[in-house]
Amino acid sequence: MFKNYLKIAFRNLIKNNVYSFINISGLAIGMAAAMLIALWIYDELSYDSYSRDKAYIAQVYQSETYNGIVDTGAAIPRPLEFALREDYADNFEHIIMSSWNEALNLSYEDINLTFSGNFMQSGAPDLLELEFLDGDENSLEKLNAIMIAQSTAKALFGDEPAIGKTISINNYFNLNVSAVYKDLPNNSSFSSVEFIIPWEALIAASDWHKRVRDNWGNNSFQLYVKINPNTTMEAVTQKILNVKKDRSKDEAEFNPQIFLFPMEDWYLRNNWDNGVQTGGRIENLWMFGIIGVFILLLACINFVNLSTARSAKRAIEVGIRKSIGSQRRQLIFQFLSESFAIVVLSFVLAIGIVLLFLNGFNALASKSIVFPWSNLTFWLSALVFIVIMTILSGSYPAMYLSSFNPVKVLKGAFKVGKNSSLPRKILVVTQFSISVALIIGTLVVIDQIQFSKDRPVGYDKEGLIEVFTLSDEFDGKQDLMREQFINSGGVVSMTTMSSPTTDVFSNISGYNWEGKPEGFQEDFAFISVHYDFVKTLGLNVIDGRAFSRGFATDSSGVILNKTAVDYMKIQDPIGKYIRHNNPSTNVKPYKIIGVIEDMVVTSPYSKVKQAMYVFDTQSSMNFYSLRLNPKNSISENLLLIESTFKKNFPNTPFNYQFADEEYGKKFRAEERIASLAQVFSALAIFISCLGLFGLASFVAEQRTKEIGVRKVLGASVGQLWLLLSKDFITLVTIALAIASPLAYYVMSRWLQKFTYRSPLGWDVFVIACFGAIIITLITVSFQAIKAATTNPVKSLRTE
């Protein structure tokens, strides 16, 4: 029986090849899109899945309140470690202090390379679940040890054994390789830990770290923990919540809250808004999940519409089958098995499409997803998916087709009722509402990105490079290097900076100034710069002046950005002082010498933070900022700069970044979302048009006789085209009316995320609606014009 059904199904497919093509390709494209989205979601969800004990691992986070605004982050003070070890040790299996993941220069013989890694305490290998390939896994206990990842070992030593070799770190530490571990997977939070150096080695070498041992106000470190299996994250958080507040009188006013941020949330739920966890990547997962379901729905709608539209053709068969003994149940089963066959066929095609586009998709989403051939769960879900698709697309047509009365259809008196096309119309409206809403959404995302990209950044980011000067050997050589760089001809101006133009490494509080409001809890971005800061970056001084060699006192000067002036509520700032709260410290007061236009440093979507730019007297520079010589090509300039650099620092890798490229990276996440959204909304509208094309050809076919008669009576091609097209245009117009307010509502909420946001203008809606109408017209007109230009004699002869 089943075989017989399949036979009929396939013969029907071949006979009605246009419809089959529309049905199968629509379904296949829809399924392929859904499959790609599913693979992507699965990949995102499996981030950090290498970790078996993920449920017990957390990073210690801190929230503090400044002027009523809660700031949450991973940075914690050093004494927190000791407090936890002394009073809460029984909650933890590991308490591990860590530095930030930073890039250091590793040298072995004449190989100098930069890797990123952490200084961590000895529990790290267990917390990171490292797999050791060689050496001693407990060697973080030793001060002169370094553990390196396999790829690091390969880069430094090639095929030679790594254990026991001495590596020079930033030409400062000399450490012996004590263990080699397997690289952590790319999709894990610790993937950039390419080496681990004992935390104690850092403490031993750094006076600064020793000084802040008991300083609760210096939040410069990270702390990872693994809790005991007999407790929970919530329980531990409850215990340690006020540990800092209770122990530090000075900090209590900021209401510091210490809590555990579970590893399971690191990747997907890492957004904080005023102290509240507000999602993160998980929102994108939901968004694309919903888009995937929508696309599938669109494909199913095509199927339903085309099957029911063509019901008249199948009616006779239903009549015959009923008259020779088929029950309705059997017919339903027959039509469902036809749908099943089509869905399976589409699924196979969809796999082909996925395989074809997986590389492109990976590039677009910056993923390295491989097709899960051997994943049983995948195939089981695929099976469930096929069944669901069959039911979704096949059940309505099956119920509808099997309901025909055999007497009526066999008599040839079968006429589809006047309202029988109503469900079809509703479905077309649904389809176009979804696709137009997706298009509007995508346009808004693109618009927002472009709007933020066009935002004035306050400095000239083109032709500006930043050379990393991470090690101590650069100390005190600024003036020498500036001279040499300029003499080389590759550079016209240079300054040094403690943070790059695209990030803030340091924030500061605890200062006082004339007119500071009572109880004001200040918080500034704090950047140390050097001479020619304004000139090199191309900043706009709006009040006062830049740091100048002509004024010896400028070494204790400070330049504020405009936001800082507004923030401090300071009148006529030039010449006024900013003093440290604690007069006993011998920090000199900062004299305000200039105010610059705001520089967009962190997120291009948010407000610029109030910033203090002070003159670097402590060698806290991390970068040379170089303004390239505009007369040369960039590559010429780079060659000149590199040779000058190498002449002075032969054993240090020459690492640099372009300011504009770094700035561009800030848009990557959104751009990735936008390009994915573009692809999927294009697919959505394509699938909808495919369906519309099918329906249009059906209608043209159904009205062949009418068209013939009208033509004989003198209707022009244009009139016939209008006759056939206007119904569809009406439907699409209704869809536009539904989609626009819906998209407006959703997208204006999405835009709320950004402080600096594009106004949601009518132009986006006009473009989307106009586009949808044009696409509809093109789709429908093809069939309409074909029908309208057919010789009427031919079409009238068909009956």
Partner 1 sequence: MSILLSLNEATRSVNSGNNKVTLLNNINLQVKEGEFISLMGPSGSGKSTLLNCIGMLDNFNGGGYTFLGQPVHSMKEKKRSMLYKEYIGFVFQAYHLIDELTVFENIETPLLYKNVKSSERKALVADMLDRFNIVGKKDLFPEQLSGGQQQLVGIARALIGNPKLILADEPTGNLNSKQSTEIMELFSELNKEGVTIIQATHSEKNASYGSRIINLLDGEIVSE
Measured CA to CA, the distance from residue 239 to residue 727 in angstroms comes to: 67
State the sign of the Cα–Cα–Cα–Cα dihedral 486, 490, 494, 497.
negative
- Smallest gap, in angstroms, from Cβ of residue 38 to partner 1? 35
Listing DSSP states for 633-691 in one string gives: -HHHHHHHHHHHHHHH-TTS---EEEHHHHHHHTTHHHHHHHHHHHHHHHHHHHHHHHH
Helices (H) and strands (E) in the chain, counts: 27, 27
Looking at beta carbons only, is 206 or 327 nearer to partner 1?
Answer: 327
Phi, psi for residue 124 in degrees, rounded to 5:
-50, -45
Looking at beta carbons only, is 324 or 713 nearer to partner 1?
Answer: 324
State the sign of the Cα–Cα–Cα–Cα dihedral 534, 535, 537, 539.
positive
Measured CA to CA, the distance from residue 64 to residue 248 in angstroms comes to: 13
- Which residues of the shown chain bind partner 1 in the complex (CB under 8 A)? 1, 4, 7-8, 11-12, 15, 316-317, 319-327, 330, 406-407, 410-412
CA–chain centroid gap for 635, Å, is 32
Looking at beta carbons only, is 322 or 711 nearer to partner 1?
Answer: 322
- Smallest gap, in angstroms, from Cβ of residue 20 to partner 1? 13
Start-to-end C-alpha separation, the chain? 34
- Smallest gap, in angstroms, from Cβ of residue 410 to partner 1? 6
- Smallest gap, in angstroms, from Cβ of residue 415 to partner 1? 14
Strand-pairing partners, residue 560, are 595, 612
- Smallest gap, in angstroms, from Cβ of residue 324 to partner 1? 5
Select from 464, 435, 410, 794 the least CA-distant residue to 627: 464
Looking at beta carbons only, is 3 or 631 nearer to partner 1?
Answer: 3
Looking at beta carbons only, is 321 or 535 nearer to partner 1?
Answer: 321
Q: Which residues contact 89 (CB under 8 A, 6 or more apart)?
A: 95
Select from 230, 299, 341, 321 the least CA-distant residue to 25: 299
- Smallest gap, in angstroms, from Cβ of residue 708 to partner 1? 24
Token representation of residue 226: 């693994």
Looking at beta carbons only, is 307 or 637 nearer to partner 1?
Answer: 307
Looking at beta carbons only, is 117 or 319 nearer to partner 1?
Answer: 319
- Smallest gap, in angstroms, from Cβ of residue 55 to partner 1? 55
Looking at beta carbons only, is 62 or 402 nearer to partner 1?
Answer: 402
Looking at beta carbons only, is 191 or 330 nearer to partner 1?
Answer: 330
Exposed/middle/buried for residue 103 (C-beta within 10 Å: 0-12, 13-18, 19+): middle
Q: How many CB atoms lie within 10 A of CB 665?
A: 12
Tokens 């553990």, residue located: 147
Measured CA to CA, the distance from residue 231 to residue 90 in angstroms comes to: 10
- Smallest gap, in angstroms, from Cβ of residue 384 to partner 1? 30
Looking at beta carbons only, is 38 or 331 nearer to partner 1?
Answer: 331
Phi, psi for residue 217 in degrees, rounded to 5:
-90, -10
- Smallest gap, in angstroms, from Cβ of residue 4 to partner 1? 6
For 28, 349, 363, the CA distances from 39, given in Å and listed in that order, are: 16, 17, 14
Looking at beta carbons only, is 410 or 673 nearer to partner 1?
Answer: 410
State the sign of the Cα–Cα–Cα–Cα dihedral 324, 328, 330, 333.
positive
Return the C-alpha torsion angle 125, 130, 135, 140, nearest 10: -10
- Smallest gap, in angstroms, from Cβ of residue 337 to partner 1? 13
- Smallest gap, in angstroms, from Cβ of residue 327 to partner 1? 6
